[in-house]
Structure 1
Amino acid sequence: MTQVHLPDPVVRPPDRPDVDLDAFSRALRDRVNGEVRFDRGTRAAYSTDASNFRQVPLGVVLPHTPEDAVEALAVAREFGAPVLSRGGGTSLAGQCTNTALVLDWSKYCTRLESVDERARTCVVQPGIVLDELNRQLADTGLRYGPEPATHMNCTLGGMIGNNSCGATAQRTGKVVDNIARLEVVLADGTRFWCGETTDEEYAAIERRGDARAAVYRQLRALRDEYADEIRRRFPDIPRRVSGYNLDSLLPEHHFDVAGLLVGSESTLVTVLRAELELVPVLPERTLVVLGYPDIASAADAVPSILPHEPVALEGVDHKLIRDQQIKDMNPQALAELPRGRAFLMVQFAADTHDEADRQAHRMLEALHDTENEADVEFLDDPARENELWQVREAGLGATAHLPGRADTFEGWEDSAVAPERLGEYLRKLTALYEEFGYAGETGPSLYGHFGQGCVHTRIPFDLYSADGVATYRRFMERAADLVAELGGSFSGEHGDGQSRGELLPKMFGEEIVRAFGRLKAIFDPDDRMNPGKVVAPYRLDEHLRLGGDWAPADPHDLHFRFPDDGGSFAQAANRCVGVGRCRQHTTDGGEVMCPSYQVTGEEEHSTRGRARLLFEMLNGHGDSPVGDGWRSTEVRDALDLCLACKGCKTDCPANVDMATYKAEFLAHHYEGRPWRRPRSDFTMGWLPAFAGVVGRLRAGKVVNALTHTPGLSRLATLLAGVEDREIPLFAGETLQQWFARRRPAEGARGTVLLWPDTFTNTFHPHIGRAAVRVLEDAGWRVTMPLEPQCCALTWISTGQLGVAKHILARTVRTLAPHLREGGLVVGLEPSCTAVFRSDAFELFPGDQDVRRLRAQTVTFAELLTEHSPGYRPPRLDAKAIAQVHCHQHAVLGWDADQRLLAAAGVDASRLDSGCCGLAGNFGFEKGHLEVSEACAERVLLPRVREADGDTVVLADGFSCRTQIHQLDSGGREGVHLAELLASALGDEPERPKVRGRAAMAAGLALGAAAAAGAGVARWRRR
């Protein structure tokens, strides 16, 4: 046999490559089909992943096809630039952050190229999201088995890079167990398909004598030299993900080169395509939840459960449950848990419901009267099972930021041991927490894939001070010693990256780590593929996103007080933990976040991307590509397509509230230079003032007549700086004017104040009239302010916060007497109601009347279900689809509406449509029309068009009704809940019938111009 010389291991790379970025970016634009971005905003958005680390990339390429990525690699090779191949960017160990050219596959390279149902395989491009792949496979009865908790946004390329697993790995194994072949390209341009290799196939490859043959010869020589050491040092456990998969080259694994490359974290090759092995869908599932006195006792029971072959076996402790209760996450699911302070979630699956139940009963019978018997909750309702499963999947977000607690971090979040040693490991790990001062009742929660010995946690490391970082390093070293002693793996599915790469000698020994370095040199001798990760790694305490030297320019002249972040904008911007939930491609489950990403696929238009830019804006490391502070045009541009829907406030596991951050940023960005604001900020932001003038002058009909004059409507929208859209007409009489000329009914239940928001008062007063009829029918005496009032929503959303605070403070003073008597305030418009329940408190957290307003503001449905005992709504026996307003979803909730509709006999189905796309002023602002319409066309409008003629379209939000009205919805109109209930009382109030091009902007520019100066001044002084 010919002697094969193996290369020496690679050496540690320089921190920053010497690359002519201007020439590099020009060459990429000339030669690569795709988007090439070297701008400061993009580089800031990609500066970190979900880890503790931060490195600003050289630039980003979004290839249109895998072949475009090959060309980008060729250009990078010519310029000596390192490359990082990235999927969903959710890596927790620092794999997806580097000073390199980032290839982002997730926007365009998302195709399922072929399916072979007979062979149970499919070929995919790296950017396809797991949930989307399984949706496309649904008709085949097959699916891809491994399913991480981030399945709604993780890409297959990222899963291959990390060797992902998830809860389903109990049945299907890791990604390495479910890969048939990979198409890869090396840093030098060598490109081939690889997989298991028979001796005959190996001989055929070697005979070619090409670059691939040289690689295969060296791989076989490496295997032969280290085979005994590999068998001796590689842990024989289900969840060994740390290190490279050298064991895949052993004869017993058929010299599987694809298996070797799985989990290599973009450090060896770039994956262009993957042939995946699929598994049959088991349609019926049964979940058994077992309660134990503590988490270690739950772990002790795992070996007795495994012989019953559950498809998933997860563990959670009481701290994770407590953390979710604090955040009010998954409340219905938490109520399903049995007694105990730790829980095992044991799932069985089969082709029939009865068989799944039988498997569960057999397990319970075997555990009966043994030391592992537990308190039991038996669930065989899929809806209840899914709710409870969310408890486990929400682990990272639930433990990230808790009020009054120290922040928690990854680092040692993914260790694994043999299942039979899991209880021992958890006891020793808990002792280690205590030794380092991380323990206690408020210490780290423990949860994970217990059936395979994998433990997840987030630890309250102090990564803000030099001493804290030094303690973090000592803990990591001690924890690594503990896992190595127990024969475990530092990573059970998240990979090594930078967090654990430096520690690998403790697990594998120096010889195997040397073999890793030589493997790296076979594929990437110049260390251009994601350098500094896994092999010749950066230290685990360098390139930290925070660190002892992090010194952000944290502003103090804030409008919002950020009470949940200690008054710190820097801490608010640092909330994002990078899991990418905002990058979801559907709104299954009624989620809203993040509408702009859903239609653009852009990292900068996700909540995460915007949070990264805000973090970088504060320039805590002195090298940020976004260093202009509040004046940053990059941050402004990234926030421009934020709809301020507030979906992230609830849907984001870390409760990032981008709508609030946007308002705060815009206030400072334009401070002292209002002439730089777009005109729409004034026409839309000051809408309540102008609408108040038009209403007081009873000029609505005049304004509407002017706006219907041919040619004038378009001129008016141009003058107002808004999109050329159809906009609702002013009402001839406001709600306040109607209410002032009627005698309120006496109510046995007492007095309630109905808030006359601008949209109801001046555009849709028929909704207010309907609400008054229903409330009086329910026994309430209704009152309302009769002078112009406003919650300041439009000033908040346009970032005119100085004016907003002035107006809101005046409103609170007006409402104070009613509030101090304990009176309730009922809101009809969800966005305005949400201001009283959320924004007002965040602007004035110390004001007692604001606190009363927050506590005593209720929705229409809440008043009738929670504050009107014995009330029965009129019977309707109707069918409805409901477009829930974003702010209602995020702040108010829809549970009360659902109960009220059910009591009225309405079969209501909530649309999984997310944001309607209008979002207050957003859809009217210049440049937003395309995104606004795309949001509506994703789910909302198709479902409205498909609805039966007798199906009611419920839409409490003015924006939602406007979007349904003015886009092609087949002539359907949205109906407020108050209207629907009032329709059952007879003599329904008259509803406006006019359609056509109204122009609120024209009304503002033409009809109200004469009165604006004096009228608005008087309005503000009141």
Structure 2
Amino acid sequence: MTSLKGHTRSRDARIKPVTELAARLSRELQGEVLFDHASRGRYSTDASIYQVTPFGVVIPRHQDDLRLALDIARDARVPVLARGAGTSQCGQTVGEALVIDTSPHLNGIVEFDPEARTVVVEPGIVLDHLNAWLKPHGLWYPVDVSTSAQCTLGGMTGNNSCGSRSIRYGNMVHNVLGVDALLADGSEASFGFVDELAEGSRAHQLAERVKAIAERVGPEIREHFPKVLRRVGGYNLDLFDCQNPKPYDPDGRVNLAHLLVGSEGTLGVSRTITLRLSPLPEHKVLGVVNFPTFYQAMDLTQHIVTLDPTAVELVDRTMIDLSLENPAFRPVIEKALIGRPEAVLLVEFAGSDRDAQLASLRRLNELLAELGLPDCVVDMPEPAEQKALWNVRKAGLNIMMSMRGDGKPVSFIEDCAVPLEHLAEYTDKLTEVFHRYGTEGTWYAHASVGTLHVRPILDMRRDGAGKMREIAEQASALVRDYKGAYSGEHGDGLCRGEWVAWQFGSTVNDAFREVKQLFDPDNLFNPGKIVDTPRMDDERYFRFPKTYRTIPLTPVFDWSGWNVTRDPLTGEQGEPGSAGDPTHGLAMAVEMCNNNGHCRKFDAGTMCPSYRVTRDEQHLTRGRANTLRLVLSGQLGDEGLASDDVKEALDLCVSCKGCKRDCPTGVDMAKFKIEARTARARAHGLSLRDRMVGEMPRYAPWASRLPGLLGAVERVPFLSRRVKKALGLAAERSLPVFDGNFLASREASAGPAVGTREVLLFVDTFNNYMEGDNARAAKRVLEAAGYRVHLNVRQDERPLCCGRTYLSSGQFDKARLEARRTLDHLMPHVRRGVAIVGLEPSCLLTMRDEFLQYGFGKEAQALSEAAYLFEEFLVKARHDGELPLELKAPGVSRAMLHGHCHQKAFDAVRPIEQVLGWIPGLEVETIESSCCGMAGSFGYEAEHFDASMKMAELSLLPAIRDADADAVLVADGTSCRQQIRDGAAREAIHVARLLEQALA
């Protein structure tokens, strides 16, 4: 890990002061103080290419903590770096400093004035959370950046963020009215309109000094400040330029708060921010313009903006193709395409009059026809389809970063802004530059304002740094030729700090240095940013320098699919990279996390349930991926995946697989946890509880013969407590009941034995020994539909098992043996074209996922393609015209559906909704929820019970408690049904049982 230069004392000289700093912070603050190596490592990166280890991390509990932390750091003469979501793409939020993370607690709404359309917020509030709070009032904060689900208003203010609709609403600097900030000398100042600042106040004194600096260099400001909307480099000294006013306020008033906007935390630390709000548009329509060439899309943008749209956003061919590879995005992007376009533009119109917006959409179609492209627009007038497509656009960065292999799209020139009339020529010439260096660029984003996000594909481990420097120099020359801005949206940071002097000239750059000295004479606020910055390609600051290596270890899964090389120009995949290194594929899978923080969302999807209840970076998918990366590269010792750091980071991971689907780059933390649990078990052995969980399929037959035994234990409180304590189980949980053996029952062998259509019903351990009624119901439904139902066991051997319990307890070798045994038994059916149908999502979907990485080759692939969840199979059969299933009203009129996490990960909730929709008179509501929190054995474990219940209380249990008493609850997951029973005292059933009730 690396550190910044520029401080007078050496690292060794600082060890003792930093140790004393940690001790004092821990004594005096109520918030968290994190100085351990793993925590510092997790805060050493943001969404940029850089990594700089901080001295420590403070998470203030309240405003007094924030002030006290700054006071203590100032006494110790230790730099501070205020940070929100850590989504910066230029390295603004990494540095050798004390990081202060305001996002977990300093995220409140302080004041709200709906009449004046203003709101005062703390810096840690997330943009989407604020807008959700404002929505009932008909207002919103319109700087709608693509990271709106995770970015904080403090970070947006420090970065002068822009967003997709800046053509209508402007940037942060146009929408911030005031900032209350703590300054480097310990004082507090309220920054606002200069004509309202109290005479003699700290803010007024600073305003006078800054004004004098700005007036002195006024001619240089007018010459060198780019005349484009998207200009976020340096400090906003032009706010005082009265001779050639470019006001950031609609009324042309000078507001000193605008100096802090875009200052990247180098001038002050925000306590609160006052924002100007806008009326929420009542109606929106969207036109998706398909272009046969990329050049046409760029050239015609200047004509499209004359229609007064609220947004014109680009999606290029690369992003389209990557979206089509993502199961969550594929059905959305397909609806927007006409043929195979090289680029599409998302053109939005919004306002209070729907007819006016529809008229604008018609004019868009007419304009394109006049420009020679008739019938190239896909009209999307309805909100649901618009929202789905905008979500794909918002995920643009992560979608691009889903490329596998060492070569990745690298951010360093991605938001240069040029006037629209030069956009097509600029992009064309920059593409020539990329080709000159044997690479290609991926393009997307803000065509409306001439700011396109472009990232050339480079391998930073090899020759990427040299190419980055040369491409940057040639790109800057193009930007200068077209009188654009080198930094158009994402700020300066470590990546573009050295280009500030190039953009603004030495005189203005010296003025910036004066401003920094005025506010922060000891250089303690985020040093090394905007002024006195390092070179962008100083390898000491890279996350992946040429010296980067992974430690030797042998993963248990086959990760060769991630260990690839790809030609940036053709996209063709070559031979596996780093041949002979078994760690590399696993490392590449871990490094798919680009630190963009998409996993920090709270309002939708599954990811990440543990972070939602802890707000702790350690329990975030990004935090876990960073921990694994640091471990695999030897930066956290040499114990590898068996280390305590990995165990702690993955402790609350419930293996929900939400990240597998919700993360646009497909980070699969559940599978990483299997690797880590296996390594830990091999290094430290298994506990009794681990063995009990893993061996459940082995002892379930014996337990089912004594169904009353565990019930008897439960009925004796003293005995129950002793047994649960010995096993490490939560006293609040009821022990599972083994009440039968469906596969050995008469019902299993009964039923029609003839028929041309066959299916194999895979009855898992849970639905065989604990809830046989589910298997019985599924068999009846399939037989009623005319299928000959085979079962997954012969009478002379124990039932088959997917091995899931072994995987979750770290017993990989046993899991693989079970998988091999299951595969051998099922393959004759698969070869005959018989579908394998399962009831328990975690079991059946193991065949579709983990089986593929055991090294079983084509057989595993064939089983994966033949394996269906019960409701998936029914939907497919109906689609194929092979489901003569007659249903009647089952006696209930309302159903509430909770999807299992793995169903959500594999987009398998919709089939349940479809099947339930076949039942006459049944109204179905799907509960919008994350993980239920039970997650197999997780919710049973004593140390995890509280976290389990908090996850359930996020949305699932409150929704069930509010449900009508006569509503039937549907949940396919065994664990989900148990959690609902324990947490809400309601019984949920498998969809198969409800269908059985509805059989005509």
TM-score after normalising by structure 1: 0.90
Deviation at 1:191, TM superposition (A): 1.2
For the structure 1 residues 18 and 404, does the alpha-carbon distance in structure 2 shift closer, same or farther, using more than 3 Å as the test?
Answer: closer
Q: Aligned equivalents of 2:42 and 2:563: distance in 1?
A: 22
1:615-634 alignment, distance < 5 Å: 615-619=629-633, 624-625=635-636, 628-634=639-645
Residue among 157, 160, 168 paired with 1:171: 168
Q: Aligned equivalents of 1:394 and 1:345: distance in 2?
A: 14
Deviation at 1:15, TM superposition (A): 8.2
1:335 alignment partner, SS class: helix
1:86 is aligned to 83
Q: Aligned equivalents of 2:327 and 2:485: distance in 1?
A: 34
Q: Aligned equivalents of 1:741 and 1:315: distance in 2?
A: 57
Q: Aligned equivalents of 2:559 and 2:94: distance in 1?
A: 32
For the structure 1 residues 603 and 575, does the alpha-carbon distance in structure 2 shift closer, same or farther, using more than 3 Å as the test?
Answer: same
Q: Which stretch shows the higher mean deviation, 726-735 or 224-233?
A: 726-735
Report if aligned partners of 1:238, 1:418 keep a CA contact under 8 Å in 2: no
Structure 2 unmatched ranges of 5 or more: 248-252, 565-581
1:158 aligns with 2:167: no
1:506 aligns with 2:502: yes
1:693 is aligned to 702
Report if aligned partners of 1:586, 1:598 keep a CA contact under 8 Å in 2: no
1:220 aligns with 2:232: no
2:173 alignment partner, SS class: helix
Report if aligned partners of 2:131, 2:141 keep a CA contact under 8 Å in 1: yes
1:992 is aligned to none
1:862 alignment partner, SS class: helix
Q: Aligned equivalents of 1:630 and 1:940: distance in 2?
A: 33
Deviation at 1:847, TM superposition (A): 3.0
1:825-974 alignment, distance < 5 Å: 825-844=836-855, 846-867=856-877, 869-870=880-881, 871-876=883-888, 878-891=893-906, 893-905=908-920, 906-967=922-983, 969=984, 971-974=985-988
Q: Which stretch shows the higher mean deviation, 677-686 or 13-22?
A: 13-22
1:578-589 alignment, distance < 5 Å: 578-587=595-604
Report if aligned partners of 1:562, 1:842 keep a CA contact under 8 Å in 2: no
Q: Aligned equivalents of 2:424 and 2:277: distance in 1?
A: 33
1:683-726 residue CA offsets vs partner (Å, 9 max, x unmatched): 2222222213323xx12233333333332222211121111233
1:712 is aligned to 719
Report if aligned partners of 1:747, 1:776 keep a CA contact under 8 Å in 2: no
Q: Aligned equivalents of 2:751 and 2:299: distance in 1?
A: 67
Residue among 602, 611, 614 paired with 2:628: 614
1:495 is aligned to 491
For the structure 1 residues 672 and 26, does the alpha-carbon distance in structure 2 shift closer, same or farther, using more than 3 Å as the test?
Answer: closer
Deviation at 1:41, TM superposition (A): 2.2
Q: Which stretch shows the higher mean deviation, 553-562 or 25-34?
A: 553-562
2:611 is aligned to 597
Q: Aligned equivalents of 2:499 and 2:9: distance in 1?
A: 20
1:421 is aligned to 422
1:650 is aligned to 661
Q: Which stretch shows the higher mean deviation, 346-355 or 141-150?
A: 346-355
1:321 is aligned to 320
For the structure 1 residues 523 and 130, does the alpha-carbon distance in structure 2 shift closer, same or farther, using more than 3 Å as the test?
Answer: same
CA RMSD of aligned residues (A): 2.1
2:817 alignment partner, SS class: helix
1:817 aligns with 2:828: yes
1:561 aligns with 2:559: yes
1:184 alignment partner, SS class: strand
1:711-750 alignment, distance < 5 Å: 711-727=718-734, 729-738=736-745, 742-750=749-757
1:278-302 residue CA offsets vs partner (Å, 9 max, x unmatched): 0011121111111222222112222
Q: Which residue identity is paired with 1:861?
A: E
1:541 aligns with 2:550: no
1:133-184 residue CA offsets vs partner (Å, 9 max, x unmatched): 1111122211111011111111111111111111122221101000010011
Q: Aligned equivalents of 1:888 and 1:924: distance in 2?
A: 22
1:195 aligns with 2:192: yes
1:416-468 residue CA offsets vs partner (Å, 9 max, x unmatched): 112222112111111111111112xxxx3211111111111332111012x33
1:820-878 residue CA offsets vs partner (Å, 9 max, x unmatched): 3332211100000111000111222x433222221111111121121353215443554
2:142 alignment partner, SS class: coil
1:124 aligns with 2:121: yes
2:568 is aligned to none
1:545-574 residue CA offsets vs partner (Å, 9 max, x unmatched): 002111121523434535334562211221
Report if aligned partners of 2:406, 2:459 keep a CA contact under 8 Å in 1: no
Report if aligned partners of 1:916, 1:960 keep a CA contact under 8 Å in 2: yes
For the structure 1 residues 296 and 754, does the alpha-carbon distance in structure 2 shift closer, same or farther, using more than 3 Å as the test?
Answer: same
Q: Aligned equivalents of 1:611 and 1:183: distance in 2?
A: 35
Q: Which residue identity is paired with 1:120?
A: R
For the structure 1 residues 11 and 699, does the alpha-carbon distance in structure 2 shift closer, same or farther, using more than 3 Å as the test?
Answer: closer
Q: Which residue identity is paired with 1:26?
A: A
Q: Aligned equivalents of 1:872 and 1:171: distance in 2?
A: 55
1:792 is aligned to 803
Deviation at 1:643, TM superposition (A): 0.8
1:99 is aligned to 96
1:299 is aligned to 298
TM-score after normalising by structure 2: 0.92
Q: Aligned equivalents of 1:250 and 1:372: distance in 2?
A: 44
Q: Aligned equivalents of 1:190 and 1:118: distance in 2?
A: 32
Deviation at 1:405, TM superposition (A): 8.1
2:219 alignment partner, SS class: helix
2:191 alignment partner, SS class: strand
1:977 aligns with 2:974: no
1:456 alignment partner, SS class: strand
1:116-515 alignment, distance < 5 Å: 116-198=113-195, 201=196, 204-205=198-199, 207=200, 212=203, 214-251=205-242, 252=245, 253=247, 254-339=253-338, 340-371=341-372, 375-403=376-404, 406-439=407-440, 444-465=441-462, 467-515=463-511
1:574 aligns with 2:591: yes
Report if aligned partners of 2:590, 2:629 keep a CA contact under 8 Å in 1: yes
Percent identity of equivalent pairs: 35
1:264-315 residue CA offsets vs partner (Å, 9 max, x unmatched): 1112211111010000111211111112222221122222222322111111
For the structure 1 residues 894 and 366, does the alpha-carbon distance in structure 2 shift closer, same or farther, using more than 3 Å as the test?
Answer: same
Deviation at 1:890, TM superposition (A): 1.0
Deviation at 1:123, TM superposition (A): 0.4
Q: Aligned equivalents of 2:561 and 2:707: distance in 1?
A: 41
Q: Aligned equivalents of 1:798 and 1:976: distance in 2?
A: 26
Structure 1 unmatched ranges of 5 or more: 1-9, 987-1022
1:849 alignment partner, SS class: helix
Q: Which residue identity is paired with 2:976?
A: C
Q: Aligned equivalents of 2:861 and 2:372: distance in 1?
A: 51
Q: Aligned equivalents of 1:827 and 1:739: distance in 2?
A: 20
1:378 alignment partner, SS class: strand
Query: How many pairs are equivalent?
Result: 953
Report if aligned partners of 2:328, 2:907 keep a CA contact under 8 Å in 1: no
Deviation at 1:481, TM superposition (A): 2.0
1:881-924 residue CA offsets vs partner (Å, 9 max, x unmatched): 21110011113522322322223344323221111011111111
Deviation at 1:94, TM superposition (A): 0.6
Report if aligned partners of 1:401, 1:408 keep a CA contact under 8 Å in 2: no
Q: Aligned equivalents of 1:679 and 1:607: distance in 2?
A: 29
Report if aligned partners of 1:731, 1:763 keep a CA contact under 8 Å in 2: yes
1:30 is aligned to 27
1:777 aligns with 2:773: no
Q: Which stretch shows the higher mean deviation, 855-864 or 824-833?
A: 855-864
Q: Which residue identity is paired with 1:799?
A: G
